[in-house]
Structure 1
């Protein structure tokens, strides 16, 4: 079959130790840390997990400079643990879910917060507030064989050297295994999928010239500059 236009390139993320991980879909968990759920007006004792998506080509490599996006005056950071799926399935049991993980990275769910607030008020989708160009910076992926499964450890973000977000992976309302299991009840997970697992409290705006530094214990640090 001949293509009527050139096929788009496959988005990939480098793997620590060599190789490239092809990205199929990016699923994002909303409000997965209790303090962040409260700061966004949610109830961590009541709300089940919910998901939204970013396109694969929203990925930005580590140490990149990212332009301040259009159509917003409130561009905000959300530091997250990124889970890379290496083996998929449907209705994956919690006790088998971690077997599906290829590796982990450090990512940012960049958000046009003013567009999101408007969408919430009008009960419209979040797509343009979350799934815009270059909205998913991510480090290289560390394979499970090298780092294990980080269920606890510091997660933080600084902007221009000032600490903005800080928490612990153990503070997640839904851990990685539970998240994989729950999501796989709604969609079939496939090798190449990423799951961004939520952010701790302290989300806030960045401006042109700001330098973001994201950290999760045991993984590569993330560095992004806004132009």
Structure 2
């Protein structure tokens, strides 16, 4: 459906895919013992993993013993991007969202050891808590804004998008060589250091500069 007939602020309801960038902050690579990548490392989450604020709790996936939070800036795509040049990227972005890329770390580590895909670790229901849409006018410089995360009121992550390994124009241009980005799609740009566990009963909150905050409860699957 054409973007003109859609309300881009409702991207959660009609966006077709979420493209995520792993290991895009050097301090996060270091804390996990990973090398800094020489090209963007990509994976995806399904639209079914979205969790909007006030729509329910984060649910720990069945069998997971080590669920981690990762706060990220999300880019909401406003126009089709295919083989887009870096200098044209910013005009194709409609706005932004604050996101949490949740990772079942024990699932991920088991998959990595076996050389298996990460879907079980990244794509479960409620694996992508997300804020409301933020327009481009809300964030004057998305490449220099703070990101933070708290668990039960204690700060765990406190970074800045200026520390990305690959900046926003490079990321979107690179992704568009392989995946055509459609209006309503979301691109997650990576997480700074400080990722850590959350468990049932925890309250996790996150913020993007002074522009927006969000809060979620955590519970086990009933």
What TM-score comes out, normalization by structure 1 length?
Answer: 0.88
How far is 1:57 from its partner?
A: 1.4
Aligned-pair CA distance for 1:14: 8.4
Q: Tell me, in whole angstroms, the C-alpha distance in 2 between the residues paired with 1:175 and 1:58.
A: 25
Say which of 36, 53, 56 aligns to 1:62: 53
Q: 1:151 aligns with which of 130, 140, 143?
A: 143
The corresponding residue for 2:41 is 50
Secondary structure of residue in 2 paired with 1:32: coil
Q: What is the deviation of 1:164?
A: 0.6
SS at the partner of 2:211? coil
Q: Are 1:205 and 2:200 an aligned pair? A: no
* Distance (Å, rounded) in 1 between the aligned partners of 2:8 and 2:52: 9
1:135 partnered with 2:117 = no
Return the alpha-carbon distance in structure 2 between the equivalents of residues 13 and 131 of structure 1.
Answer: 25
Query: How many matched pairs?
Result: 211
Name which of structure 1's ranges 93-102 and 147-156 shifts more when overlaid on structure 2: 147-156
Shift of 1:185: 1.0
Structure 2 distance, partners of 1:113, 1:140, is 27
Task: Check 1:176–1:217 CA distance in 2 against 1; reply closer, same or farther (3 A cut).
Answer: same
RMSD: 1.7
In the alignment, what sits opposite 1:220?
212
Task: Give yes or no for contact 1:105–1:219 (8 Å, CA) kept in 2.
Answer: no
Give TM-score, length-normalised by structure 2.
0.90
Displacement of 1:147: 2.8
Query: Using the alignment, how far apart are the partners of 1:221 and 1:117 within structure 2?
Result: 30
Q: Segments of 4+ in structure 1 off by > 4 A?
A: none
How far apart, in 2, do the equivalents of 1:163 and 1:114 lie? 23
